[in-house]
């Protein structure tokens, strides 16, 4: 694997990896990212967030001009760090995988009638069936009838059941047997649904090809179930110390938890090689 620099591709999850659980970034993370930027390392933010939420996180970590694989691989964007004009969103979308969510949404509503549903694309933004729990959604939302969600072509569907335990939520989703989509369940009773075959890994691989990086020069750091495919894709996969046991088993190495700056420790180690 090459040292830090233009021949190294480092793909980083955001929430629980770069950002603490309160949404803030430590000074150690900011400094490590800044050092990689100076070295020319191809640092990619790889996240379940949409592009707008990713830009907000990028501002927090001080890394606002970089590639981002967002919406769990469905949207690849270039963060520009420029929001001088009111019309400038701070990012440019280079590719977006869209799908019709109607069938999946109807199935999910049948087994999770108490849930809140959301559907997102770069064109319609984040549409939701009811107000989202405060502080959980990182981008602006618009409340619309559930039927409107089913009419859009979208890159991401999210489902949240705030009053339901994770175990029951997971059991209901798995029993449903969703087909023709890709999905991942989060730390809470939260489900992300992407177009079929779309994952963080597929998005990172397409970007690796675009940038001309050797497959053996890839690193991934993350903490969630939606990072598993990215771990299998990367030459070297690192799980955060607070990740669940099955996520840690899928990685090549386990670093310290996010509260102890586990991602920064790995970024610093890559700089020292």
Domain edges within the chain: 9-96+198-272, 102-194
Q: Give residues with Cβ within 8 angstroms of 177, minimum separation 6.
A: none
pLDDT < 70: residue spans in the chain: 82-88
Give me the pLDDT at residue 86, please.
41
Give me the pLDDT at residue 81, please.
79
User: Identical fold at 9-96+198-272 and 102-194?
Assistant: no
Q: Give residues with Cβ within 8 angstroms of 147, minimum separation 6.
A: none
Q: What is the CATH number of domain 9-96+198-272?
A: 3.40.50.1000
**Residue among 233, 222, 231 at smallest CA distance from 252:** 231
The pTM of the full predicted model, rounded to 2 decimals, is 0.93
Euclidean distance between CA atoms 243 and 240, whole angstroms: 5
Tell me the two tokens of residue 16. Answer: 């629980």
Q: What is the CATH number of domain 102-194?
A: 3.30.1240.10
């Amino acid at each position: 694997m090459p040292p830090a620099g233009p021949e190294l591709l480092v793909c980083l999850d955001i929430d629980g990896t770069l950002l603490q659980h309160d949404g803030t970034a430590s000074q150690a993370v900011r400094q490590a990212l800044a050092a990689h930027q100076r070295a020319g390392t191809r640092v990619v933010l790889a996240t379940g967030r949409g592009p707008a939420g990713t830009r907000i996180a990028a501002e927090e970590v001080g890394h606002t001009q970089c590639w981002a694989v967002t919406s769990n691989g469905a949207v690849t964007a270039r963060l520009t760090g420029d929001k001088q004009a009111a019309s400038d969103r701070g990012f440019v979308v280079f590719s977006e995988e869209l799908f019709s969510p109607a069938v999946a949404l109807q199935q999910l509503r049948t087994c999770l009638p108490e849930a809140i549903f959301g559907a997102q694309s770069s064109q319609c933004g984040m549409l939701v069936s009811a107000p989202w729990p405060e502080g959980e959604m990182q981008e602006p939302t618009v409340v619309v009838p559930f039927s409107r969600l089913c009419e859009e072509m979208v890159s991401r569907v999210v489902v949240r059941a705030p009053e339901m335990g994770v175990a029951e939520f997971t059991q209901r989703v798995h029993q449903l047997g969703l087909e023709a989509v890709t999905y991942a369940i989060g730390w809470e009773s939260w489900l992300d649904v992407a177009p079929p075959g779309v994952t963080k890994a597929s998005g990172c691989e397409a970007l690796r090809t675009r940038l001309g990086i050797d497959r053996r020069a890839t690193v991934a750091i993350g903490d969630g179930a939606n990072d598993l495919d990215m771990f299998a894709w990367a030459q070297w996969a690192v799980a955060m110390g607070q990740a669940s046991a099955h996520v840690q088993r899928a990685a090549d190495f386990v670093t310290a938890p996010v509260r102890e700056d586990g991602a920064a420790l790995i970024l610093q180690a890559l700089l020292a090689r």
